[in-house]
Every structure is written in structure tokens, then in C-alpha cells.
Structure 1
Amino acid sequence: MANLTFTLRSGRRLGVTTFGDPDAERIVVLCHAAPGSSVFDPDPDISSTRDVHIIAIDRPGYGSSDPWPPGSWPSIAQAADDIAEYLRAMNTTEGQLGIHRPRQVGAAGWSAGGRVALALAARHPELVDRVAVIATPAPNDAVQWIPPQLQEEVERLAALPPDDAVRQLSGMLQGQADTVAAAGSADEMPFDAVGVTAVDERALELPGVRDRLARMLRDAFQQGPAGVAADILSYTARPWGFELAEVRAKTLVIAGQGDAIAGNAHAAWYRRQLPDARQEMVPGVGHLVIVPAWGRVLSHVAPGTAKKRGAAASGEGKEVEQEEAMR
């Protein structure tokens, strides 16, 4: 579960998990996948050897966060606004305690979380100066990736009242939630639920990755499948609530060359649509690219924060120098 909760002005609660150095000046917001939750640290060794404070927040219905209010459509834009409210409240509280961090942060989003990271940058440009979009699918009408039969079902759900749409899609996803709940160990966990395929085997076998993903999936379905159902509806049944052209932050679009869900065509679409973006493809990995690429992601969203010992130990020094040269 998240290690703390935050109550929004609306009264809705958010689950918040933090990683890295709590005293670091640079803050990085990590937006999780779908299904997912805030408890997933892509690589704790990398996270702990950079001078960053990493904040992850459960979206509604996942982990420790309350579900969307009755009668409201799940919303990418509102998920981003929730994060912005938390960041501003944190700045206020820390200021009262004499802690003054830079106002702007870096934002990184894996898979469905990439849209939330972009929405945060677009809707709150004063808060976000750098973004990393990691293995995030493009809209289906731009790069087709949703099977036609499923797209037809989504269109049917979009015509229903939001509570009915979430309830019906949750019913369709109940089997996935049951499989996660029944898994006795990480080896039995259905990692394909988060897009992991055979090409990700090397990344999956890295120390601790299976256990961390399993913990994330268990936390994601702690309240049942409503969280992932809401996430799916937020980006298929309704407009995203922002324009990519509004994202002024420097953006890294990164994907695995073997990703069957959100590979090169998706990454290239984001690169073309975003005002200030570069694209990088990682060989030998698929949708789980966030694990081997985590050091590269942090070097972009938090440039110049590699601790000397950590950079030498992880081989990140060269990456940081390259990123600094591109600023």
C-alpha cells in the first residue's frame, strides 16, 4: 500500500508513495501504468543513487486512492489536476517548515501514465519543466492498436452513464482481478496484464523485478477492477482534456523496440505532436522498457542529479553528461 494518504479539497483521498532521497531538491513525479499503483519503483538501486525525491500517486480506484465520485467520468485531466493539487499543498506545507525546493518538477509516465504526465505538463506548465513518456500508446485513431471488437465495446460503453460504464467494464475485467488475487507467488502472476511479453524476459529476470511488479498488481486490484476500468474509459471513451501542443516542457519519448503495444509508431507519433520532444528506442525489450531505461529517464527529468558514487556504480555518468549536453 501507499505509505501516506492526502485528502483533496473535494474530500477524495489519494494514496501517495515516495522513493529516493526525501531531502533532495529535485522532485520527480512518476505516473503508473494501467493496471498499476504507486508502489512500483522501476529500479530502486537507480532511484536511490540519484539526488531526487520521487513521488507516485495512486489514480482513483487503485491502491489507497478513493474511486471516482459517483456520476463522474474518469478523467486524465482530473488525474493530473489531483497531482498538481498535491504538489502545491506539499510546497505550502514544506514552506511553512522552512523547506524550500524548486517549484518545477520532472514528470514521468509509464504506459497509461504517460498521458497523465503530459496532461500535468500541459495543464500546469508552471509546475513541470521536463517530461518522459515511456511506452505510452497513441490514440487509437492515430495509431490503431485496440482490436476492432474491443473498440466497438468501448464506443457502446461511452454512450452509457459513467457509473454504468465503469460497472460493466469492471465486470468484464473481474477475471483478471481474480487471477491476480489467486496468484500464490510472483511466478504465478499474470504479468501480461501490464503488457509484459516474451521479449521482456531479460528485464523481468533482473533482481527484484518480478516481486516489485507482483506487489504493484496486487495493490492495483486491492479494490477490485474498478481502477483499471476507469483508466481505460478515461482514454478511450472521453477526450483526454488537453492538447499535446500545450506541452512546453522538454519531453523524452522512449519505447522498447520489441513493444507490440506501444512501439516505434506510437513513439514517433508523440514526437511529431509534441513541441519539444526527442525519441529514443531501446533494443531487446518491450513494454517493460521502464526497468532498463529508468536511469535514462531520470537523467532527462532530473538532469545533473546523479550522485558521484551512484553514477559510477550504475554507469550513468556518461548518460548524464550526454543529457546535460542536450539541454
Structure 2
Amino acid sequence: MNRKTSQALVEVSELIELIYDTSQTDERWPQLLKDMDQYLQHFEGKNSPSGMLSEQVDQLSNHLLRSFQFNEVSDKATHQQFISSQLLDQLPIGVIVTNAKAEVITLNQQASESINTHHALSIQANTLQANTPQNTTLLHQHIQQLSDGSSQEDGISLSLVQGANQPTLSIWISTMLNQNTPEHAEQNLIAIYIISSCIKPEYDTLVLQKHFGLTAAETHLTKTLTNGCHNLVEAADTIGISVHTARTHMKRIFAKTQCSSQVELVKMILTSPAILKQNNLHPFFEPHPTHHSITLFDGRKFGYMTFGNPNAEPLIYCHALVHSDQQLLPNKTLQNTKDFHIIVPMRPGFLNSDWISTTPSLHDHAKDIIQLTQTLDISTFHVLGYSNGAPYASALAYFYPKYTTSLTLVAPIVPPDIDQRKDLPPADRYMLQLGKHLPKRALRVLSKTVLRSMWQRPDELTKRAFVYASTSEKVFLQSKDVNDYLKHWIQSVYPEKTAAVSHDLMVRIRPWGFELKNIEVPTQVWHAKDDTISPFCCGKTLTSNIPNAIMHTLEHGGHYILYEHFSRILVHLKSSYS
């Protein structure tokens, strides 16, 4: 064993320790990628013992898989809590979820604003407190009794008076179903609904009437009671009716809703469909108007999005790794082109396209796209591939030239036999190197670690890109629209779509299955000299290898020239092939 290999073996214990440390503290992933890459380089080349590289790869892969399996349950619980918080934010009332000890599990935006504004409730050392010691004791007793089942009620109300000229805060404390997560499995969680005259939730009046069979007058009174009026006399005065009339309405309301008290009525209304007005829902929870899908011959769902003019020439757009499932570009106005009908096929595992366990090839995806175009009765089309989408676009042009009018590649990546590693940012370079050695399962674990870190820290994606970015790329990344676009992507892919992202990341190291010199379709390549993600040499190499390809060189714009020059690219495409 030579000295170089012996030194590497001494360092393996530190690397294994870093693997397990990163599974707990995922922001250390850049260091892990770097150290693993440097470690495996010790075993490359003629001077390394035969089989030693394979042995070390197996060892590291086993530790990677084992370390991250330990975190799988906790990871899922964290994601479920995040989704629950997103759902709670759709409610136009304050909601706080606690455990039996009044420790806050989560709260929605309305509850946070109410706490900051009215001070009847507060959170101290992650424990929910009321405005006086007596109210805090009472609040904690109610929470404990409901959690352990010692209360005979299914919910308890509490009014917190804040002083002269201050609104009274009414809260309704109720149990939630047991949670199937380790930290909550042995207890009932508690939901606390906050009602105040300063918090006026919006209702869908027609839904409220129809759902409970109320008259217009009964609906008006019900809404008034749940908008901060704390007794019937106050409610009657607010809407301008006599107390006698209000009591008559209340009897009928109780009969129709099968409630026996005003508190019970308020809880029922606040958890009914009437409070979820359609225009309050986040777009994430609605079908998007551009989303479509077909069923392929093998039974898989194949999703796609459409933009632009449905009556214009079809343009198949092969998306980059980072892309929104709500819009084509950060600047929405650019995608409303009149010259093309833009169709965006979603690769397996993205958006509403089914994932498949076997690794699909570029040819496989091209076949799916052809089935899509035939379903849409499209005979010929242009194809544009951006960044990671370039291999997919190139495959479509190579395998189906009779359908492809033209091929446009923007800031493209290149096949793995073209070495551009020295020009890549460190994290990309390390991942590319590791991709040559590690098995797919281990690479998927690494990809998931990177995504989880960025999901937990949404600004990390932009910050890391900013470190090695060129000047024009930094200008682009500072835009709020771009930041929102990137954050939406990371939130939409983790954790359900990590397999799809991992597969797409590895497109840099998988053989394309064809040679560039055999692409016969008219081709244009757009690339900027200051691109730091897919270096300029990639565009030059593709242009020189594809027969009759034309290159458009931009001095500035970096990797994001598609977003900056989308209209220009489409205008040139239209004029070249019309």
C-alpha cells in the first residue's frame, strides 16, 4: 500500500463522521461533497490498488444510506408540519396548535398577528401564556383537561379582557385527532381558535346559508356572532334588531345546526366550508389553468403546461432543472407570446407526471413527447431546450427529425464525454465527480440532503448561486420576482419530487444515447460568455459538433439569458423558419 493510499485511509474516519453529522445538520453538505470528492480521488489512477476505489465507494455509500435512514421519520414529520402550517394560513382566523403542556407546535399567520397586536395572548419560551397569571393557569388547565380526556366537553371557551377601550379576545379550545408522528403519538393536540372584534373573518354567505339551511337574517346574525360580538345583546345592537328578534333567530339557528350553545355554534361555523372562500385559497391548492395531462399507452399520467397563443406554431419547451409549476418565466408578461403555442412537457416525477422506478432514458422521454403531440394533433413543432433541458430537446430532434422543424439550445449543458468540470462552480463539480462513482441510491440521498437544506432555508439557493455568479447573474438574482420563483420551486419539489430532481441532476453524467454529429435538424445555440453554471465552452462545443448549427454569442446575461432575452430568441426563431 503506498503512502498516498495510507493517508487517505486515515482520513476515512473523519469523512464517515461528517456523513453522519450532515444527516443531522444538513447545511454542511457543501463540505461533505468536497471531502468525499477529494477522498475518492486518492483511489483513482494507475497507482491505486485494484478494486480499492470500488471498495471505498461501497463503504461510503453504505454509511450514506444508513445515516439518512435514521432521519427519514423525522424528515417526514417536519414536512407534514410545514404543510399543516400552509393549510392553516389559508384560514382567515387565528389558529394555534399546542400539546398538553401548552407548548406551541405551530400557529398560522393570523394568530401571530393577533398575538403581536392585542397582547391578550403571548408565547414565552415556546409556551402559550394569557395576559394575567390567573388566565394563564385557567388556559393551561383547560388545555391539559382536553388533552388527557378528563374534561367532559369537546371544547371550552375563554374570554380574555384586555382592559379599557381594548377589544375582548375570545378563544375556543378544542382537541385535534392524534398525530401519527413520534413526538405526538401519545397525546391529543389542542387547537385554539382566536375570535375578536378586530379579527373579522370573511365568509361565503351563500355557502353558509346553503350548508346549514339558514335564512338571510339568520345568516347575518350568525356572522355577527362569529365576528367578535360576545353576546346576543351586543349582536342585536350591531345589526339593528331587537333582542327578542335575535333570540327568535337563535332558537331557529340552534335547531338547524343542532347546537346547544353560542360557543358550540361559533366552533361549528369556524370549521365549516363557509369560512374557506375560494379566493382565499393559495394557488398551490388549486388546479392551475395551464396544467393538463394525458394518459400514455403504458397507463402513466404525462403532465404538461401551455402558454402563449393556442392557434400559433407549436413550440415544445424542455424545461431546466429549476422551474416553476405555475409559470414559465419569473416575468409572466414575457410568456404571453402571440407567435407560438408553448407546450411544456413535464418529465417523470415533476408536477403531475407520474414517476417511474426505472431510470428513463432521453429516448424514452422523447417517445412520451411524441405521443403527447399526436394526442394534441400536432404534426410538426419547434423545440427549445434550456440548461438541463438541452439533452431532452436534442434527443427529440435526433430521434424524431421528421416532426422537428428546428432545435434551439439556450445555455445548454453538454454530454459527459465533453469535460467541462474545471469551469464549474465547486458544488456542481463535486457532484459531477461523485456521480461517476456512487450508486444511484447514494446520489439520491445526497440530492435529498441538498434539497432539504434549501427547503429549510429558502434563501440558500439564491445565496449559494450568488457566490460564484458573474456580475450580470448577480443582478438577475437580486430581483424579487426571481427570488419568489426560486423559492416556489424548492418548496414544490421537496420531499416528494427529490427522486425526479436527483435523476435530472444526473443528466450531466449519463450518456445521451446518440452523437451530436448525427443531429440533422436546423439548430441555433444561444450562450453568454459570462455563464458560470453551464460554461461558455459548452455552447461552443455543441455548435462545433452539430452540423450546420449557428451560435448566437451574448457578452452578458450569464446562465439566465433565457429569462432576459426570451422575446428576442422567439422573434429570431420566428423570422428564421417562417
1:176 paired residue among 450, 463, 472: 450
Deviation at 1:128, TM superposition (A): 1.0
Residue in 2 that maps onto 1:74: 360
DSSP-derived class of the 2:437 partner: helix
Conservation of the 8 A alpha-carbon contact between 1:38 and 1:57:
no
Alignment map for 1:289-308 (pairs within 5 Å): 289-301=561-573, 303-304=574-575
Change (3 A) 1:222 1:256: farther
Residue in 2 that maps onto 1:118: 394
Higher helix fraction: Structure 1 or Structure 2?
2
Most deviating of 222-231 and 103-112: 222-231
Residue in 2 that maps onto 1:20: 308
Conservation of the 8 A alpha-carbon contact between 1:179 and 1:190:
no
Change (3 A) 1:49 1:156: closer
Distance 1:293 1:273 in 2: 25
Distance 2:433 2:475 in 1: 35
Deviations 1:124-153 (A, max 9, x none): 112111111111122343232267754442
Deviations 1:137-186 (A, max 9, x none): 223432322677544422224xx5xxxx1x322210123322343356xx
Conservation of the 8 A alpha-carbon contact between 1:39 and 1:216:
no
1:132 equivalent in alignment to 2:408: yes
Alignment map for 1:101-116 (pairs within 5 Å): 103-116=379-392
| Letter matched to residue 30 of structure 1 | Y
Deviations 1:4-37 (A, max 9, x none): 2222111122221111122x23011111112445
DSSP-derived class of the 1:6 partner: strand
Distance 1:262 1:74 in 2: 23
Q: Which runs of 5+ in 1 are unaligned?
A: 92-100, 305-322
Distance 1:106 1:75 in 2: 21
Residue in 2 that maps onto 1:287: 559
Distance 2:298 2:412 in 1: 29
Residue in 1 that maps onto 2:188: none
When normalised by structure 2's length, the TM-score is: 0.45
Change (3 A) 1:141 1:27: same
Conservation of the 8 A alpha-carbon contact between 1:105 and 1:127:
yes
2:461 paired residue among 187, 190, 203: 190
Conservation of the 8 A alpha-carbon contact between 2:318 and 2:393:
yes
1:59 paired residue among 342, 347, 369: 347
Residue in 1 that maps onto 2:481: 208
Distance 1:33 1:210 in 2: 16
DSSP-derived class of the 1:259 partner: coil
DSSP-derived class of the 1:293 partner: helix
Q: Which runs of 5+ in 2 are unaligned?
A: 1-283
Distance 1:84 1:236 in 2: 25
Greater RCO (Cα-Cα under 8 Å, separation 6 or more): 1
Change (3 A) 1:28 1:216: farther
Distance 1:123 1:116 in 2: 11
| Letter matched to residue 182 of structure 1 | Q
Kindly, what percent of the aligned residue pairs are identical?
A: 24
**Structure label with greater radius of gyration:** 2
Residue in 2 that maps onto 1:98: none
Runs of 4+ in 1 over 6 A off after TM superposition: 192-196
2:546 paired residue among 251, 254, 274: 274
Change (3 A) 1:6 1:294: same
DSSP-derived class of the 2:294 partner: strand
| Letter matched to residue 518 of structure 2 | E
1:219 equivalent in alignment to 2:492: yes
| Letter matched to residue 449 of structure 2 | G
Residue in 1 that maps onto 2:435: 154
Change (3 A) 1:297 1:86: same
Distance 2:335 2:504 in 1: 26
Change (3 A) 1:29 1:219: farther
Q: CA RMSD in A?
A: 2.7
Distance 1:48 1:129 in 2: 22
DSSP-derived class of the 1:74 partner: coil
Deviation at 1:198, TM superposition (A): 4.8
